[in-house]
């Protein structure tokens, strides 16, 4: 069955332009924890919370500062991650995260003993 991903700004319910939509779709496969990631060309910002730092959150160009303020207010006392300063990276991928993805790091199934 065909499906499509729908991204919305946490604050104004805006949708990204088609090029930014593709960037956000690519970023879904990021292995990140507690990181801000830029999504060009529309200027969107993604918060990769996970666990105690909350869910992924998205903000359009107009509400980037609101997202940062929200994350800092709600999770700033838990970890230093919300206090990161710009400029934010466009990806968190490294050789290690690429290897983890290839070995099934994004799968819900455990991979114990697979090295």
Asked, for residue 107, whether it belongs to a domain, the answer is no
Asked, for residue 13, whether it belongs to a domain, the answer is no
Q: What is the DSSP letter of 76?
A: T
Domain that holds residue 66: 18-102
Give Cα separations from 82 to 4, 6, 62, 91, 100 (angstroms). 30, 25, 19, 17, 24
Asked, for residue 115, whether it belongs to a domain, the answer is no
Asked, for residue 111, whether it belongs to a domain, the answer is no
**Token duo for residue 52:** 């105690």
- Mean pLDDT for 72-78 is 96
Residue 115 has pLDDT above 60, yes or no: no
State whether residue 24 is helix, strand or coil: helix
Question: Which of 12, 10, 27, 14 has its CA nearest to residue 70?
Answer: 10
Q: What are residue 47's phi and psi, to 5 degrees? A: -105, 120
Residue 25 has pLDDT above 70, yes or no: yes
Q: How many domains does the chain have?
A: 1
Residue 74 has pLDDT above 80, yes or no: yes
Asked, for residue 114, whether it belongs to a domain, the answer is no
Asked, for residue 110, whether it belongs to a domain, the answer is no
- pLDDT band, residue 14 (cuts 50/70/90): very high
Q: pTM for the whole thing?
A: 0.81
Q: What is the per-residue pLDDT across 35-49, written as a single tens digit (0 to 9) for each?
A: 999 999 999 999 999
Q: What pLDDT sits at residue 106?
A: 64
Asked, for residue 2, whether it belongs to a domain, the answer is no
Q: Confirm if 64 and 87 have CB atoms less than 8 A apart.
A: no
Q: What is the mean pLDDT of the chain?
A: 88
Q: What are residue 51's phi and psi, to 5 degrees? A: 60, -130
């Amino acid at each position: 069955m065909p499906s499509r991903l729908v991204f919305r700004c946490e604050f104004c319910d805006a949708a990204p332009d088609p090029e930014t939509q593709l960037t956000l779709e690519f970023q879904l496969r990021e292995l990140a924890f507690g990181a801000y990631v830029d999504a060009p060309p529309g200027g969107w910002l993604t918060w990769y919370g996970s666990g105690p730092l909350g869910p992924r959150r998205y903000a359009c160009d107009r509400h980037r500062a609101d997202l940062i303020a929200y994350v800092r207010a709600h999770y700033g006392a838990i970890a230093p991650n919300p206090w990161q300063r710009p400029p934010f990276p466009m990806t968190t991928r490294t050789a290690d995260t690429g290897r983890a993805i290839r070995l099934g790091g994004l799968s819900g199934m455990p991979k114990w003993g697979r090295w």
